[in-house]
Structure 1
C-alpha cells in the first residue's frame, strides 16, 4: 500500500490494487473501501470502517486522518510498513530461537544414554570386576 501511494496512486486506487493481490478478509475490506470511495462515500468514514478490522486498525486510522487533514499518507504508511516488517522479523527470529532450544532436548535424550553406555558402564564393570575379584581371592 505504501509503495502504491509513493508511486502517486490515490488511497482508493491503492486499496483496490493491494486488495486484489491480498485476498482474504483484509483484501476484501480494501476492495470494499475502494468501491465505497468510488461511489462517493465519505473517505473518513470509509477508512474508519476499514480500520475496524483488527489487522487494519493502524492503517485505517492513518488513512482516515489523511483524508480529513489533507496530509499525504505516504510517510506514515511507509513507517507502518517498516514496523510490520520489523515485527515479522522479530517473530521469525523468536521462532528460530525457540526451535534451537527445543532441538536440544532430543539431542540430550540421545547422547546421554549413549555416553553412559560407552563411557561410564565399561568403567563401572571394570571396577566392579576388580573389586569383586580382589574380594574373593
Structure 2
C-alpha cells in the first residue's frame, strides 16, 4: 500500500519498513487465550482469597485451605494454587513456593502477600481478607475504566464518518463561494 502511495525506490523502502513494524506489533500483542486466562485469574482471585480465609478461620492448615479452594474454583487459578499446595506438602519453603506465582502480574499480589505472611508470621487470614478487598477494588476500577473506554471507542467511528461530510458539505462550499468572489471579477 505504501509502495503505491509513494512509488519508486522510496516506496519500496517505506513499504518494507511498514511491513516490519506491523509484523513486530502483531507479534507483541498478547494472544487472546492468555488474555482470557489472565482475566479469569483476576476475576477468581477475590473469591479464592475469601475461601481460603473461611477455611483458615475454621481451623484448616494453609495446605488444606488451598486444596479446598482448588476444588471449588478449578480453572487456571486452581491449577496454580494446586501447584503451590503440592510444593508446600513436599516441604518447600513457603516464601519460595509462593514467589513462583509472582512472575504473573495477576497473581503477584497474592504471591507477595503470602510470602510476607510466611516470613513475618502474620496471621494469614487477615492478610488474605485485605487482599480480597484490594482485588475487588481493583476489579471495580478496571471495570469502570473499560466502560469509559467503550464510550470513547464508540464515538471515534462516528467522528470519522461525520468529519468528511462536514468538510465536503460545510467548508468546501463556503471556500468555493469565497474563491469565486475573489478570483472572478
| TM-score, with structure 1 as normaliser | 0.63
**How far apart in 2 are the matches of 1:52 and 1:59?**
11
Structure 1 equivalent of residue 53 of structure 2 = 6
Would you say 1:35 and 2:35 are equivalent positions? no
Instruction: Name structure 2 gaps, 5 residues minimum.
Output: 1-47, 166-185
Aligned pair partner of 1:85 in 136, 148, 166: 136
What's the CA shift for 1:10?
A: 2.8
Residue 67 (structure 1) shift: 1.9
The unaligned stretches of length 5 or more in structure 1 are: 114-137
Measure how far apart 1:43 and its partner are: 2.0
* C-alpha distance in structure 2 between counterparts of 1:105 and 1:50, whole Å: 39
- Structure 1 position 51 matched with structure 2 position 102: yes
Match of 2:75 in 1: 23
Q: Is the partner of 1:95 in helix, strand or coil?
A: helix
Q: Which TM-score applies when normalising by structure 2?
A: 0.50
1:98-126 Cα deviation digits (max 9, x unpaired)? 2223334556658xx7xxxxxxxxxxxxx
**Considering only CA atoms, is the larger Rg found in Structure 1 or Structure 2?**
1
Q: Deviations along 1:74-102, whole A, 9 cap, x unmatched?
A: 22222222222222212211222222233
The Cα RMSD (Å) is 3.0
Query: Does the CA contact (< 8 Å) of 2:95 and 2:115 recur in 1?
Result: yes
Kept after mapping to 2: 8 A contact 1:11/1:63: no
Q: CA 1:101–1:58 in 2, change beyond 3 Å: closer, same or farther?
A: closer
State the shift of 1:34 in Å.
0.8
Give the CA deviation at 1:30: 0.8
Higher relative contact order (CA 8 A, sep 6+): 2
